[in-house]
Amino acid sequence: MRSREGTADAGHGALEAGAAVVAAVTGLAALGAVAVFSATAPLDFESAIPPHFLRHGAALAMGALLAWVASRIPLTLWYRSAPVLWLGSVALLVATAVMGHDANGAQRWLMLPGVGVAFQPAELAKLATLIAAAAWLSGDEGRAALKRRGVFGALGLAAVPAGLCLIQPDLGNAVLLLGLTGLLLFVGGAPLSILIRPAALSAAAIALYSALHPHALRRWIGFIDPWGRAHSEGFQLVQSFVAFGRGSWFGVGLGDGRQKLFYLPEAHTDFILSVVAEELGLIGVLLVLGAFAALWIAGLRIALRARQRFPMLLAFGMSALLAVPAAMNAAVVMGLLPTKGLTLPFLSYGRTSLLMSCLAVGILLGVARGEFPKRPKERAR
């Protein structure tokens, strides 16, 4: 049993890690605002301030408020409301499949009535699934995590929203949902010998899906041979390479990038890091990746200092929700992974993604500062 001194040191360490989280997120959000302004200014030459930037700024302000509120919510409330949050996110995904807004060949958004704002339920589903999985693995199910029942129960929480994402179609978020849940299972105590089979089945399902769906197959072709397909499937990746090449070490200067001028598709969303690479160079990219690394390490420190199982898993899940998509997005723009349509947290334009990222930060800070009372079903680490 921990001494009072040890408990105090752990709490102080968690608060220090929380301050590091705030510092990293603030830096990323500030750079993201500048990058969004730079990337979207060419989209509307008649406006002194790009409309995308105004919407991004409003979402950032709302996200800061959301993070503050979430950090004050008792952890017991997240624990008790986990099933409701998960069911609500699944219901929204079903509604998206039935009456979602179609854009660029994908039906991924719900239009909020009366305000004309698009909401992407898949972003909420990722957060809700990780909270539900953390709660599932924290009671009696936590002990079952070492057995097949616990593993497949948690994976079932991810499989349902992942399947609904595939209907949209949204392969990137479906893969991310399953991967994050598998990572949480491993941290929760599930041995690799049990996780190997679901991982192999998931990989086979992804391969089959890619073979049967032309849009997914084209992404693989563009990834494998981007230069040979520079005017078709590989166009986006080649333009990203050009942005990185032009940026060199120190970049061409803020606002002076050329690739965003209708050469690089989705410059303000999926490929915002390419804009940073061109205008701020390798130094700018390393600053972004370093900030995410600091965020990841601080999140792990918060998780390791949690005194009960649910806060530990919750903190790890929220940290992974922020860091893993960032690593995947960076890998995509550098040609290390096929394009997946994933945004870069805090930097990309995308209001739903930004709000959910801020909510994850708020929950992480809540773990750093909050207490979670022991329950009969809660097994200490």
Question: If you average pLDDT over residues 80-102, what whole number do you get?
Answer: 91
In this predicted structure, what is the pLDDT of residue 10? 56
In this predicted structure, what is the pLDDT of residue 377? 47
In this predicted structure, what is the pLDDT of residue 255? 85
Question: If you average pLDDT over residues 146-170, what whole number do you get?
Answer: 83
Is pLDDT above 90 for 298?
Answer: yes
In this predicted structure, what is the pLDDT of residue 381? 40
In this predicted structure, what is the pLDDT of residue 114? 64
User: Residue 106: which pLDDT band, with cuts at 50, 70 and 90?
Assistant: confident
In this predicted structure, what is the pLDDT of residue 144? 55
Instruction: Give CA separation, 299 vs 154, 177, 305, 333, in Å.
Output: 22, 19, 10, 25
**N- to C-terminal Cα distance for the chain?**
11
The pLDDT tens digits for 162-186 are 999 988 888 889 999 999 999 999 8
For the chain, the domains span 4-369
Q: Which of 10-14, 184-188, 299-303, 375-379 has the highest mean pLDDT?
A: 299-303
Q: Cα(330)–Cα(337) distance, rounded to whole angstroms?
A: 9
Beta bridge partners of 102: 107
Nearest to 249 by CA among 306, 301, 287: 287
The residue among 64 and 111 whose pLDDT is bigger is 64
Instruction: Give CA separation, 376 vs 1, 78, 131, 139, 146, in Å.
Output: 17, 17, 20, 8, 19
Question: If you average pLDDT over residues 4-27, what whole number do you get?
Answer: 76
The residue among 42 and 177 whose pLDDT is bigger is 177
The pLDDT tens digits for 32-41 are 999 999 988 8
Q: What is the pTM of this model?
A: 0.90
User: Residue 372: which pLDDT band, with cuts at 50, 70 and 90?
Assistant: low
Beta bridge partners of 106: 103
Is pLDDT above 50 for 379?
Answer: no
The residue among 291 and 7 whose pLDDT is bigger is 291
In this predicted structure, what is the pLDDT of residue 246? 93
* Mean of pLDDT over the chain: 86
In this predicted structure, what is the pLDDT of residue 380? 40
Q: Which residues of 256-289 are buried (b: 16+ CB within 10 A; e: fewer)?
A: ebebbeebbebbbbbbbbbbbbbbbbeebbeebe
Longest dimension (CA), the chain: 65
Question: If you average pLDDT over residues 191-208, what whole number do you get?
Answer: 85
Question: If you average pLDDT over residues 295-309, what whole number do you get?
Answer: 92
The residue among 5 and 267 whose pLDDT is bigger is 267
In this predicted structure, what is the pLDDT of residue 138? 84
The pLDDT tens digits for 318-367 are 999 999 999 999 999 999 998 887 899 999 998 899 999 999 999 999 99
